A and B are shown apart, each in its own frame.
Chain A
Amino acid sequence: MKKYFFPALKLTAVLIVLTAGIYPLLIAGVSKLAPGKGDGVTVENKGRVVGYANVGQNFTDDKYFQGRPSAVGYNAAGSGGSNKGPSNEDYLKVVQERIDTFLAHNPGVKKENIPAELVTASGSGLDPHLSPAAALLQVPRIAKLRNLPESKLNDLVKAHTDGPLLGMFGPSKVNVLKLNIALDNL
């Protein structure tokens, strides 16, 4: 082993400089040209930074589109899911409560139209999106509270729907934060 010790030691030092020193600095340097300059992309509303474009946030007021349940309360200091198994009885009770709560806040909505994502926690706890169906389902409630025509809100959701990548790959989704900013500025 002795024969290999010193080459190993020196090579370790060189590889540390290369992979942990130079490489991340290079990426950070080039990323200055990227949106957000590598610090993360923020979103403004009326001149104030209200959040990160990719990070979801909590909306409890019925006048806003509400995102998915979060296991970390949408605090991006941390992240995480519920890690509840599909057959866990306590977990299933929580899901049932979420369905009941949603129905109470959205009179007129039929249970079979509630997409599962609205009553299940996201993996990151910071999911910034909803499916278009989940956003459209909340339109009648918001329209009533804000005295706006439903058609106008439906159009707003459609305008904020991001289709699949290149129109071909992956699901369609709506960024809840951006949608709510647009809603406030109607």
Chain B
Amino acid sequence: MNTELLGVIASYALTLIIAIFLGRYIAKTFAGEKTWMDFLAPLERFIYKICGINPKEEMNWKQHLKALLTINMLWFVYAFFLLIFQDKLPLNPDGNPGQTPDLAFNTAISFLVNCNLQHYSGESGLTYFTQLFVITFLQFVSAATGIAALIVVFKAFRDKTTTKLGNFWDFLVKTNTRILLPICVVIALILAFNGTPASYAGKDTIVTMQGDTVGVSRGPAAGMIAIKHLGTNGGGWFGANSIHPLENPNYLTNMTEVISQVIIPIAMIFAFGIFIRRRKFANIIFGVMTLGMLILLIPSIIQETGGNPAIAKMGVSQLTGAMEGKEVRFGPTATAYWSTVTTIISTGSVNGFHDSTMPLTGMMQLVAMMTNSFYGGCGVGILNYFIFIIIAVFISGLMVGRTPEFMGHKVEAREVKIAALVALLHPFLILAGTALSSFAIAHGWGANWAVQPGNWLNNPGYHGFSEMLYEYTSSAANNGSGFEGLGDNNIFWNVSTGFVLILSRYLPIIGPVAIAGLLAQKKYVPESAGTLKTDTATFGIMTFAVIVIIAALAFFPSLALGPIAEYFSLY
């Protein structure tokens, strides 16, 4: 077997092993059981004391959401102003300028919502101060927000009937102290010892062997790159993200980064099963999600290792596959694997540029973000999947003529309405956004804009359309990767994707938390012969079908105009 494929299989196997242990640990931590990290308890008590928080104060689902939204709003204001005034703040050895208001708006939201769409390049668009105090900070707390929201849902299904769903601040703090920070220290040190910069030294200037004078951007990157992956954030320190040889120096760091971005999403599935004492239910979810991943992954690997047919016609060798936008030290197999992983979960970091991948690989990346629930981002992945479960429960209930129930609670009109709204919001935002930008190009909007719509696209034809479709899909999935050829640092893209980002982050958090809270308040109906079982393979397939149908019906026309049309023009 070839070493590139072996590397991918090993990466996935290691991910799974770590995730199983991590899942148990997470479940124990939030169930209040003893773990070997309990030595951190005094630190947490100290934090609660100075913040005036009583971690034992139980909140209901509405109070949780109020706390979540209040602190998120604070973070936005904080980040926005720091980005605008970064040139006047310390730790700016390269003398980079402040961000324009529209760019700061986009950047602050993008990192606040765990998306990490970057309409700037890290080398010139940020200072070390904002890289740490805005970007790194938000990468920690946005991941913790998603996880804390999911823990609320965990709590809702642990007991039969309850309104006491734990304390939001407690979840937020413990996610940082018990999960994110300790694992990040390990990842960051692996990176630093393999050549990723970690010191505060500024840009270096060197004279190369043949006498060219070039710069080398550096900075305290290792810690940020660790949380960027562990928290499924994805925003890179350097412009080229994890393709950059300092951000991802060798195959070992590549495996480390690709593993660390999936461990929490998978661990949360297992933690769910342990926490609500229904392991079989969690195993079915894991099975469906893994099936979804494989369906997207296998064609991507085949396409990328097969090479570009247009280049094959020129008569050169493509034994190493399609290499445009890729790096020799990773090879096309590892890049195809990364591209699938980074789009099914909401990381959006890249180790090869997606804009230059083959049309069908690009389509798999798009479909991964359009479904957005195979593993999914930190915490929010299962929240998205939960919406599809509710819809599947409702449809299956109608099909077999039984009252739809989930975890012993009746699913009624209100819950189904919320689920349907959240499920439909995603395609609406993507398609409406793409339609708007296409209209702007076709009808010559913005003749006096700094960047005119006609100059947005880096590629003509079908691929150009895919660039726009990708940008909105990535925003709505809170993913953050891009077909980076798109000229997106201008007011149209900064503002329009900014609004897509906010809506597609908070509604899909509010929806599932509300549904779970509402269900948990209801009377517990014991399981009987008439109950629709949700922990069977049949129900798993049903959920999978709901996901496929919603994605296929909503998105097929746009995919046909972009990647599918490009595929047929190439082959």
A-B pairs with beta carbons under 8 A, tally:
383
Partner of A57, one of B136, B214, B322: B214
Interface of A is mostly: mixed
Whether B123 pairs with A64 at a CB distance below 8 angstroms is: no
Cβ contact within 8 Å between A169 and B137: no
In chain B, residues 155-199, which have Cβ atoms closer than 8 Å to a Cβ of chain A? 169, 172-173, 176-177, 181, 184-185, 188-189, 192-193, 195, 197-199
Given A4-B70, A58-B212, A60-B210, does the pair A78, B330 have CB atoms closer than 8 Å? Answer: no
Among B105-113, B283-291, B355-363, B552-560, the stretch in contact with A = B355-363
Pairwise interchain contact B189-A30, C-beta atoms closer than 8 A? yes
**Is the C-beta of A149 less than 8 angstroms from some C-beta in chain B?**
no
Query: CB distance A124 to B193 under 8 Å?
Result: no
The answer to whether A173 touches B133 (Cβ under 8 A) is no
Contact assessment for A113 and B210 in the assembled complex, using a CB-CB cutoff below 8 Å: no
B 246-280 contacts with A by CB, 8 A: 246, 249-252, 254-255
Binds A, one of B1-9, B512-520, B539-547: B1-9
Complex: how many Å from CA A8 to CA B173? 11
Does the CB pair A122–B569 fall under 8 Å? no
- Per-residue interface assignment for chain A, residues 18 to 53, with 1 indicating a CB less than 8 Å from any chain B CB and 0 otherwise: 111101101110111011111111100100111111
Q: Which of chain B's residues have a CB closer than 8 A to the CB of A56?
A: 245
Q: How far apart are B469's CB and chain A's nearest CB, in angstroms?
A: 13
CB of A45, distance to nearest CB on chain B (Å): 7
* B window 457-492: CB within 8 A of A: 458-463, 466, 483-485
What residues on A are CB-neighbors of B185 within 8 Å? 23, 26-27
Beta-carbon contacts under 8 Å, A161-186 to B:
164-165, 168-173, 177, 180-181, 184
Query: Contact between B206 and A23 (Cβ–Cβ < 8 Å)?
Result: no
Is there a chain A Cβ closer than 8 Å to B220's Cβ? yes
Of B217, B222, B251, B460, the contact of A170 (CB 8 Å cutoff): B251
| Smallest beta-carbon distance A142→chain B, Å | 14
Q: Is B47 engaged at the interface, CB distance under 8 Å to the other chain?
A: yes
CB distance from A50 to the nearest CB of B (A): 5
What separation, in Å, do the CA atoms of A123 and B451 have in the docked complex?
25
Chain B residues with a Cβ closer than 8 Å to the other chain, count: 121
Report how far A3 CA is from B206 CA in the complex, Å.
55
With A and B bound together, what is the CA distance between A8 and B243 in angstroms? 37
Known: A28-B198, A83-B484, A169-B10. Is A76-B325 also a contact (CB below 8 A)?
A: no
For A6, A49, A121, A165, which residue has the most chain B Cβ atoms within 10 angstroms?
Answer: A165
Most-contacted residue by chain B among A31, A42, A89, A96 (CB, 10 A): A31
User: Which of the residues B244, B315, B328, B331 comes within 8 Å of A111, measured between beta carbons?
Assistant: B315
Chain B residue numbers with a CB within 8 Å of A20 are 132-133, 136-137
Task: Jot down 10 A-B pairs with beta carbons below 8 A, ordered by A.
Answer: A7-B51, A23-B181, A57-B212, A84-B324, A91-B459, A116-B308, A169-B10, A169-B251, A170-B4, A171-B251
Extra inter-chain contacts (13) besides given A4-B70, A58-B210, A79-B123, CB under 8 Å: A1-B66, A1-B70, A11-B53, A11-B172, A18-B177, A23-B185, A24-B136, A27-B220, A57-B209, A77-B216, A80-B240, A99-B315, A115-B317
Q: Which 7 A-B pairs have the closest CB atoms?
A: A77-B215, A83-B485, A85-B463, A169-B7, A123-B243, A31-B198, A79-B240
